[in-house]
Amino acid sequence: MDLAMIPASAATPPVPVVSSWAVPRGPITDPVEAAFIAGAALTSLDNLVRSSPPWTGAWRARLALSCAAAAARQTGRAEDEAALRDAWVLRPAGSDPGPAGRLLTAWRRLAERSATIDATVLQSTCGLLDLGWSPELAALPEEIDRLVGEGRPAPLVAGAVLRAIDTAAPSAGLLGWWLADQVLALRLRWPLPVPLLMAEAYGAAFRGTGRGGRLRPADDGFEAAVCLGVAQGAARALRCAAEIAPGAARLQAVAPKLRAKGAGEAIARLLEDDAVPGTLATAKLSRWGARRLFERLEALGAVRELTGRASFKLYGL
C-alpha cells in the first residue's frame, strides 16, 4: 500500500461514548427500562459503526478475540486472550489452529463477513464450535428469518434467537451467542456484525436475582437480561475503540515520514487486525526490515508490543 493512500488522522471522527445513565450499574428487572438502556447504548455504537474509521478492522478483531476467550471459558478450556492470539498469529500458514483457535476463527469470521444466516453458514460454524449438526439446526434459518422479519427491537430479536437455539439444540449455546450478534447486525442494517454478546454471557446482566446460577433462555427475565448485555457490550466495545483510536491516529500521523520499503503494507495490517507478528515478511519488507520498522513505531508510540516477550513478538494498536 502507498503510504500516501493511508488516511490522515485528522479525518478520523472522535469515538462516541455511551452516556453514563445508559450503562447498567445494578440489577434492572423492568423490561421497558432495560430495552430503553439498550437502545441508547446501541445508538452510540451505531454512530461508530457507520463512521467506519480506518482502524475498524483492528477493533472488530480485538472484540472477536474477547468473545472467543469467553467461549473458551464456557467450554472449560484454559486459553485466555493471549493464548488464543498466539494460536492464531503464530500458526503455520494454512494449518489447523487447534480447538481453541477454531473458536477464534468462528468469531473472526463473524466480524469479517456480512450477516448471512443459512444452513451452509450454520453447519460450517457448528464445525468450528465443535457442535454436532442436526435437522433442528438446519431448520433454524427459516425461523430466524421469521423472527427478524417481525420488526421487534434488535435486542429482543437476539433474545428470541437465543431461545430458539436453546429449544432446538440445548447443547448448542455457543451457536446461539454467535447468532445473536448476527441478528443484531441484520436488524440494525450494519454492513458487518460486531462481536458483542458472547463476552457478556457470564457478566452481571445474566446473573440470576435472588438465587444462584445464571439466567437461561427459558427463564423469565431473560430478554431484559439480553438488553442489559447489549448495553454493557456496546459500552465495552466503545471503550475498546477509545483505546485503539489514539494509537491509530499516531500511526497515521507518522506514516508519511516512514521510508522503509513495504511500510505501507505493514501499517495497513496494523489497522486491519488485532496483532501483527514482528517477523512479518512481504514482497517488499524483509523480516529484518519489519523488526526495525516495528521497533521504530513502538518508540514513536504508534504501536505497542502485546506479549512482553523478548522473542516471537506481536504488535498492535
pLDDT digits (tens, 9 = 90+) for 62-91: 999 999 999 999 999 999 999 999 989 988
Q: Kind of pairing, strands 304-305 and 314-316?
A: antiparallel
Residue 93 is predicted with a pLDDT of 76
Q: Which residue has the higher pLDDT, 125 or 27?
A: 125
User: Per-residue pLDDT tens for 217-231?
Assistant: 888 889 999 999 999
Residue 14 is predicted with a pLDDT of 85
Mean pLDDT of the chain: 88
Task: Find the length of the chain.
Answer: 317
Sign of the alpha-carbon torsion through 46, 47, 51, 52: negative
* pLDDT tops 60 at residue 8: no
Task: Report d(CA 59, CA 272) in Å as an integer.
Answer: 8
Q: Rounded mean pLDDT of 161-184?
A: 94
Residue 212 is predicted with a pLDDT of 58
Q: Rounded mean pLDDT of 99-122?
A: 92
Task: Report d(CA 224, CA 222) in Å as an integer.
Answer: 5
CA distances from residue 188 to 181, 193, 316 in whole angstroms, order as listed: 11, 9, 29
Task: Report d(CA 294, CA 286) in Å as an integer.
Answer: 12
Residue 229 is predicted with a pLDDT of 93
Residue 210 is predicted with a pLDDT of 57
